[in-house]
């Protein structure tokens, strides 16, 4: 069967991935209500296209953090990508660069900051960060990302602890023994002993224990002062936290429910975008992730005020199916679908997209 959409790649990837890795990538928290909602929410919103507009030539470029990109889609941070393919994060980053997208590298990666920088030099790279209990680990990661040419820090703020992911519990998930969390190798010479296999598992356990439930907005303030890079907070779902992000000096927000992996029954990014954009959209760069799999999905988020959207799982499906070529295919499918959506909506450039072009289904029930 020809793979012509994200869903096709997802189906194929689920046939190929090892059970434990698939459970880690695909699962959500709790009963997975929000995981399903992330996919289904887009069906609740209707497009209102404008006709008889000359769309023979269109411009998909957008500006984020004072830099122009080919189109408004980037690659979200996802952990341990070499479980999907031996080339892992490098393949994903190279594909993102080839399609003109931002690539966000996860702290919990199976490829190091330095290797991704070396092997994907033409890709715009941001670094996803946790502030750990051991602040020295965090400081070390920041300085390495700065030195390696990463252009922003994406601070995940919705993970004081990991969510209850039942698939991981059932599968007793562990990182495969031939892989390790490469951004932490060499940091534990004085705290871990034994052979390399024990060190690998020890690093995994140590990092998990480093998630810090005591973090506050003062921690964000510290980070902004510590780094020379712009700081984007990821995981915001309320206007109250968006306002705090602005007040504490963040450069941007990624509206996200963490792929519905943290706490169940939270809303989707699409649902909360309007209140966040209304509160701080004129002062901060607002972006979003969670469930995007079609060009129409991207369009809806932009109409609601997002400047860029990000996809995580779709690129993992592409990676599992065909490495870098698979990710390139996923991104190309999304880019072509978004371009077609722009034409059919009567939009020649991103600034032509307006909030009036997308309405909730209840809009028509009231007529």
Q: Backbone dihedral region of 66: left (phi > 0), alpha (psi from -120 to 50 degrees) or beta?
A: left
Half-sphere exposure of 252 (CA within 13 A, CB side): 23
Structure-block tokens of residue 88: 């892992």
Question: Rounded to an integer, what distance in angstroms lies between the CA atom of residue 75 and that of residue 63?
Answer: 16
Alpha helices in 33-161 (DSSP H): 33-40, 88-98, 113-119, 135-147
Question: Rounded to an integer, what distance in angstroms lies between the CA atom of residue 320 and that of residue 16?
Answer: 7
**Catalytically annotated residues:** 258
Q: How many whole angstroms from its chain centre is CA 86?
A: 21
DSSP 77: -
Question: Rounded to an integer, what distance in angstroms lies between the CA atom of residue 183 and that of residue 142?
Answer: 11
């Amino acid at each position: 069967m020809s793979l012509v959409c994200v869903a096709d790649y997802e189906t194929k990837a689920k046939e190929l991935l090892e059970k434990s890795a698939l459970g880690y990538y695909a699962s959500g928290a709790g009963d997975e209500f929000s995981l399903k909602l992330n996919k289904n929410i887009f069906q609740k919103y209707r497009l209102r296209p404008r006709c008889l507009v000359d769309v023979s030539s269109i411009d998909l470029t957008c500006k984020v953090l004072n830099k122009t990109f080919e189109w408004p889609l980037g690659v979200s941070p996802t952990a341990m990508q070499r479980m999907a393919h031996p080339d892992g994060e490098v393949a994903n980053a190279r594909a993102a660069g080839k399609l003109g997208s931002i690539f966000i590298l996860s702290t919990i990666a199976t490829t190091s900051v330095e290797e991704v920088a070396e092997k994907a030099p033409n890709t715009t790279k941001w670094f996803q960060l946790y502030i750990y209990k051991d602040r020295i680990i965090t400081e070390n990661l920041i300085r390495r990302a700065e030195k390696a040419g990463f252009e922003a820090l994406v601070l995940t703020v919705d993970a004081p602890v990991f969510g209850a992911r039942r698939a991981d519990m059932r599968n007793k998930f562990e990182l495969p023994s031939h892989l390790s969390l490469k951004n932490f190798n060499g940091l534990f010479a004085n705290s871990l002993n034994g052979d390399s296999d024990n060190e690998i598992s020890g690093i995994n356990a140590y990092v998990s224990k480093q998630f810090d439930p005591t973090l506050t907005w003062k921690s964000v303030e510290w980070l902004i002062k510590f780094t020379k890079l712009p700081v984007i907070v990821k995981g915001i779902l309320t206007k109250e936290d968006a306002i705090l992000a602005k007040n504490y000096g963040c450069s941007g927000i990624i509206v996200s429910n963490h792929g519905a992996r943290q706490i169940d029954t939270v809303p989707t990014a699409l649902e909360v975008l309007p209140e966040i954009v209304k509160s701080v959209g004129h002062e901060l760069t607002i972006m979003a992730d969670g469930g995007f799999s079609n060009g129409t999905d991207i369009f809806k988020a932009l109409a609601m005020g997002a400047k860029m959207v990000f996809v995580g799982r779709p690129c993992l499906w592409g990676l599992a199916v065909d490495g870098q070529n698979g990710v390139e295919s996923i991104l190309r499918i999304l880019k072509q679908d978004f371009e077609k959506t722009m034409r059919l909506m009567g939009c020649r450039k991103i600034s032509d997209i307006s909030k009036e072009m997308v309405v909730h289904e209840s809009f028509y029930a009231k007529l």
